[in-house]
Structure 1
Amino acid sequence: MTVQDRLLLGQTLSFIDDPFDVPVSAAVQYIRDGAVLLRGHLIADVDEAVTLKKAHPNADITDYGDALILPGFIDAHVHYPQTAIIASWGKQLIDWLNTYTFPEEIRFSDHDYATVIANRYLDLVTAHGTTTVVSYCTSHPESVDAFFTAASARNMRVVAGKTCMDRNAPDALMDTAQSAYDDSKRLLEKWHERGRASYAITPRFSPTSTPDQLTALGALWAEHPDCLMQTHISEQKAELDWVAKLFPDARDYLDTYERFGLLGQRGLYGHAIHLTARESDRLREMGAALIHCPTSNTFIGSGLFDMAARKSQGHIVGLATDTGGGSSFSMLRTMAAAYEIGQLNGTALHPAQLLWLASAGNARTLHMGNKIGKLQNGFEADLVVLDLASTPAIAQRSGHADDIWQAVFPTIMMGDDRAVMAVWINGQSISLENPNRV
Structure 2
Amino acid sequence: PEAVITPSDPSFKLHSEPYAIQKQLNPPVVLIPNTVKELSAIVKFLYSSNLDFVIRGHGFKSPSAKHVVVSMLSFKGVEYDSVKKIATVGASATWYEVVSFMEQVDPQYSVPAARTPSIGVTGSILNGGLSWMSTEYGGISDPINFLDAEVVKYDGTVVMASQEPDLLWSLRGGGGGFGVVTKVLLRAHPYPTDIWSGMVLVPRKTLPQLVDKIYTFNRSVPHPKVNYFVYLMPKQLLSTVLEEVEPGAEDSIVFHVYDALGEQHGRDVFKWVLEMPGAIDRTRVTNMKGILSMQSIYHRETVKNKSLTIVITGNVADLRGTMKTLYAPMAVADLDQDAITQAVSFYDKIGELDKSIQMMSSVIFEFLIFRSPIGGSSEVAWPRSHTLNHLLLFIFSCPGHGSEEQEKILRQLSEEAPRQILGPKLDKSEINPAGLEPEYHDVKGVK
TM-score, L = length of structure 1: 0.27
TM-score, L = length of structure 2: 0.26
Structure number with the bigger relative contact order (C-alpha 8 A, sep ≥ 6) is 1
